[in-house]
Every structure is written in structure tokens, then in C-alpha cells.
Structure 1
Amino acid sequence: MTRLVNRVLLALVGLVLLCWGGAVLAAGVGWGVPSWWPYAGPRAVLLSRADRIRYRADGWSWPVVIAVLAVLVLLTLWWFLAQLRRPRLPEILVDSGDGEGAVLRGRALENVLADDAESLDGVARADVRLTGRRTAPSARVALLLEPHAPPRTTLRRLTDSSVEQARRSAGLGVLPAVVRLRAVRHRAERVS
């Protein structure tokens, strides 16, 4: 869905910019442009001197223009950085032994791995995301630990049981995992 929205949005923006740029170029070279076009010739400007002076008299107009442009730049930067985010792995290719292979949904393995991790003692919540290629996936696991959970023991249990079981069930040679541990926020206990 994101790809479709990105492609449609980029196509529309590109088409508008291409038409606008072509019309400005045509007016600048001296070719015929429609009568309603604001830039009718090579000496035409975006804002005339009278417009600049008129807008200078309003104390709020230029700060608003700058603020709108700054918001547009920030939204564009946010959209660009969202494109660099690693997407979830939609499916994993499992060797079924017949030479064909089977396809395992990535979300299914993520859910099973997260449920198995949440069943460990001391884990309040687990979030799993599969990345990489469908033949060589890797897991990104975020665990929210309860205050009494020892991180080293919880990490060992996760890698020895949950990740290893997911690796074997998917028929993978290796399943590298990056695990992030965070503790649940809790109030300090009073000692009397």
C-alpha cells in the first residue's frame, strides 16, 4: 500500500512540476503562453516591487510564508526518512525438501516469536520484526522487562528457546537476532 501511495504521489508531484517548469521555460524563451499565465515574458518576476512593498507593510505576512515553507520542508524530510525505514519481511522461503520450497508468512513467524517471548518469566511485552531477505531473514526483538527480571537470564532464555525454536521450525540455518531490552517504569519501593 505504501509503495502505491508513494508512486502515485510522486507521479502527481512530478507531473505538476514538469508542467509548471515547462510553462515557465516557454515564457522565459518567449514562446506563446496562455493569457492567464502570470509570467508572460522573460522579464516577468514572481513578486513585483509593488507586491513586495505591500506585503512588507503587513507585519505578519512574511513570517507566515517562512513558517509554511519550514513546515513543508519538515514534512518532506519526514516523508524522506520514512522511505528509508526498513520494511517488514512479508514472507520467508522455507526449504521443504522437494526442491520447490514453501512460503511462510513473515507476520505469522513474528507473532509466534513474540508470543513465545512474552511467555518467558519477567517479560511484560515483546515486539518482533523480521527484516532481511526471504532466504536469509533476521529478527529485531524489543523486550519490555518487568522490574524483577534479570536481563542476562532473560536474554539467554530468549535465544536458547524462542529464537532457536523459530529457526528450527522455519528450517533456517541461522536466524540472527538483535534484541533490545527495556525495563518497565515503576515507582521506587520505600524501605522502612
Structure 2
Amino acid sequence: MILMLKAVNRVLLGLLGLGLFALGGGVLLGGLDLQRRWDFGMPGWWPFRGPDDVVLGVEGRTRWREEGWWWPTVIAVLAVLLVLLLWWLLAQRGQRLDRVLVNSEDGAPARLNGRTLENVIEEEAQALDGVSHAHVRLTGRRTAPTARVRLLLEPHADPARTLGRLIRETLAHARDSAGLDRLPSKVRLREARHRARRTA
């Protein structure tokens, strides 16, 4: 089901991108008057034929002027459309994996709960010296997950040393335990800021 939704999502994104590309290209052709310069024609229904053409002509702008509901409705619809597109854009960010297919060494792949693997990596990362808090999220494909790791470091921590241990120990252990060939990772380090305490 998830794979089908991802495929539909990609098709819709592709069609939307293709439509916007065609529309933008057509407007650019008209705006630069390339039909006349390069001596070619556009379909009869295409509204942008030259630099003087506009998206919404005088008739379109004044047609519903007497109707008080028209422009508020147009603005509301465009606002809702913008919110939906922004939500869709944010939803395209790496989605969390619910399952990871691991090598069970008997010829049949086993399914490992993605959250369980995230928790294991988080616990091992938080056990590293200088790490105050760790957050891990697995994204990508079930057979080829990617780990997104955020570490909150104590002020005394050595970022280079902590990152090296995270890669060599924590992530390598998770990769080997799950029987994965690779476990690409994106790591973000941030220093914890403690508030100064007043002393009497």
C-alpha cells in the first residue's frame, strides 16, 4: 500500500511539474515574442501570443465586479490551494520507515521494526561521551534505509571525535546487526546551551 502511494505521489508530482513547465515555457515564449522572432505558431486556444498579452484581460477582471462574493472567494480558494501545496511539499521530506528488510542468512529476508532500530541507534549514540541527546529517523527504501541522526552535544564534547565514534561504532554496529550492505547517514551536530545559574 505504501509503495503504491509513493508511486502515485511521484506520478502526480511529475505531471504537476510537467504542466507548470509547459505553462511557464509558453508564457515565456509569448513574453519574449519568440513566435514572431523564430517564425513559428502557437495553437489557436493559447492566450499568450505576444508581449502585450496578459494573464487576465479587462473583461476577465471586470466581469464579476458587481458580485461582492467573487474576489473573496477567488482569494480564499487560492489561499487554500497554497496551503495544500505547501503541505504536500513538506510531506515529500523523508518519510519514516515502518519496516526494514534485513538479511536473516537463511535466504528469506526478515522484517525489522524501523522504530526498534531507531531506538537502538539512539541508545548507543546517547551512550557516547559528550552526547546529551540523540534523535534518529530512518528514511529511504526498506532494503536501503538512510539514517538521519541529530546529536545534542555537551559543551565539553569534541565534535570530530564524537562523529568518528558514531560512524565507526554506533552506525557500523547497526548496519552489521541488520545485515545491511550500507547504511548511509546524515548527521547533524548541535551544542547544548545551559542556562547560567545564579549562586548566592
Compute the TM-score of the two structures, normalised by the length of structure 1: 0.62
Question: In structure 2, which of residues 165, 170, 179 is the aligned counterpart of residue 162 of structure 1?
Answer: 170
Give structure 1 stretches of 5+ with no counterpart. 8-45, 56-60
Distance 1:67 1:185, change over 3 A: farther
Question: In structure 1, which of residues 124, 130, 134 is the aligned counterpart of residue 138 of structure 2?
Answer: 130
**One-letter identity of the residue aligned with 1:134:** R
Distance 1:112 1:130 in 2: 12
Question: In structure 2, which of residues 187, 194, 197 is the aligned counterpart of residue 179 of structure 1?
Answer: 187
Distance 1:124 1:158 in 2: 14
Query: For the pair shown, which has the larger CA radius of gyration, 1 or 2?
Result: 1
Task: Specify the SS of the correspondent of 1:108.
Answer: helix
Give the superposition deviation at 1:185.
2.7
Distance 2:62 2:139 in 1: 54
Give structure 2 stretches of 5+ with no counterpart. 10-59
Distance 1:47 1:122, change over 3 A: same
Task: Specify the SS of the correspondent of 2:65.
Answer: helix
Distance 1:131 1:54, change over 3 A: closer
Percent pairwise identity: 50
Task: Specify the SS of the correspondent of 2:95.
Answer: coil
Give the superposition deviation at 1:48.
9.2
Residue 52 (str. 1) matches residue 52 (str. 2): no
Question: In structure 2, which of residues 60, 77, 82 is the aligned counterpart of residue 74 of structure 1?
Answer: 82
Question: In structure 1, which of residues 108, 121, 125 is the aligned counterpart of residue 116 of structure 2?
Answer: 108
The alignment yields a C-alpha RMSD, in angstroms, of 3.4
Residue 151 (str. 1) matches residue 164 (str. 2): no
Distance 1:151 1:73 in 2: 43
Distance 1:141 1:54, change over 3 A: closer
Distance 1:147 1:129 in 2: 24
Task: Specify the SS of the correspondent of 2:186.
Answer: strand
Q: How does 1:2-81 map to 2 (within 5 A)?
A: 52-53=65-66, 55=68, 65=73, 68-69=76-77, 71-81=79-89
**One-letter identity of the residue aligned with 2:168:** D
Give the superposition deviation at 1:173.
2.1
Give the superposition deviation at 1:63.
8.0
Structure 1 stretches of 4+ with a deviation exceeding 4 A read 46-49, 61-67
Distance 1:164 1:48, change over 3 A: closer
**One-letter identity of the residue aligned with 1:68:** A
Give the superposition deviation at 1:142.
0.9
Give the superposition deviation at 1:71.
3.0
Task: Specify the SS of the correspondent of 2:133.
Answer: strand
Compute the TM-score of the two structures, normalised by the length of structure 2: 0.60
Task: Specify the SS of the correspondent of 1:186.
Answer: coil
Distance 2:109 2:72 in 1: 59
Give the superposition deviation at 1:137.
1.7
Distance 1:54 1:169 in 2: 67
